[in-house]
A = this chain, B = another copy of it.
Amino acid sequence: MTQSKSINRRIVLASRPHGLPTAGNFRLEEVPVPEPKDGEVLLRSVYLSLDPYMRGRMSDAPSYAAPVEVDAVMGAGTVSRVVASRHSDYAVGDWVLAQGGWQDYAVSTGAGLTRLGDKPDHPSYALGILGMPGFTAYMGLLDIGQPKAGETLVVAACTGPVGATVGQIGKIKGCRVVGVAGGPEKCRYAVEELGFDACLDHKAADFAEQLAKACPNGIDIYYENVGGKVFDAVLPLLNTSARIPVCGLISFYNATEQPQGPDRLALLMRTVLTKRLKIQGFIIFDDYAPRYDEFARDMAAWIASGQIKYREDMVEGLENAPQAFIGLMQGKNFGKLVIRVGAD
């Protein structure tokens, strides 16, 4: 389906998911394209970013961001173009990074818009390696993880936009990088294309033993974006003074009840004490917004020099966003999941 000039297709949250979302939790609606008022611009979505954090917004449990209301449009970062402007700072045709949401058109006052230049080479990169996921990888690893040459870094979801970037920055900093991914194809990519020292398939029955073998000197940094059995396998291998930046826990997002015992909270705290661990959560723009320019400069240079590679998993059509998001929760994407909503 192509974008219409008069109809705004939008995907709303039809009901709150219980566990893994289903297609029935979403509803595609068609409404008239909104009219910008004085001081506003009308934006047309070109690329839409789908990210694991969105699962949290679908629930009304307390979290770091307010939930999406039922019957409201799902929020999301978009790369958009200005198609009508009543705002003196924006002209028709401008490329911007916006919070356009899961829809074709959005109206903006200009607040929160970031210009992407006249003819961006890879406009969708602003949703990934040059945007929130890349920034998350960069600050979590460098500021909280404090990698040193020769240390062992473990990162899960390691072909996703955060994990792949964490691992490649780890290599730039001289770490031994052990990735974890789902399936042999992703693991091959991590080693052969991204240059990781090893990559393990978390679906293997002997995953924990494989991880111990792949980390003969223990683990100094575990970049936590997954949780669950990867964390369980990492915990006994952590070295004294290991660091654990926590940016996501995708394996927990769809849990509907607490896991059965024993209660390992005390075990974790004892490990924090005896191994002098640092475990620190962060929300990238809340904690690190002032350091965005430093990130953007370093990352642009690493991409230009080929030191950092980036893979997108591009899905065509807004109507496919719900199914693509459900797949993201199951690890079916391979690279940064982006929906192409409309033509450039």
What is the interface of chain A, defined by CB distance below 8 A to chain B? 56, 62-64, 224, 227-228, 231, 240-241, 246-249, 252, 255, 257-270, 272-283, 286-287
Contact = CB atoms under 8 A, between A and B. Distances in A.
A56 B275 CA distance: 13
A225 to B, nearest CB: 10
Contact of A276 (B62, B278, B287): B287
A273 B281 contact: yes
A256 B302 CA distance: 51
A6 B298 CA distance: 71
B269 A252 contact: yes
A286 B273 CA distance: 12
A249 B278 contact: no
Contacts of A286: 276
11 contacts: A64-B273, A64-B275, A227-B266, A249-B266, A263-B263, A272-B280, A276-B280, A276-B282, A276-B283, A277-B280, A280-B280
Nearest to A253: B270
A231 B262 CA distance: 17
Contact of A269 (B224, B240, B241, B278): B224
Contacts of A270: 249, 252
Contact of A266 (B252, B269, B273): B252
Nearest to A279: B279
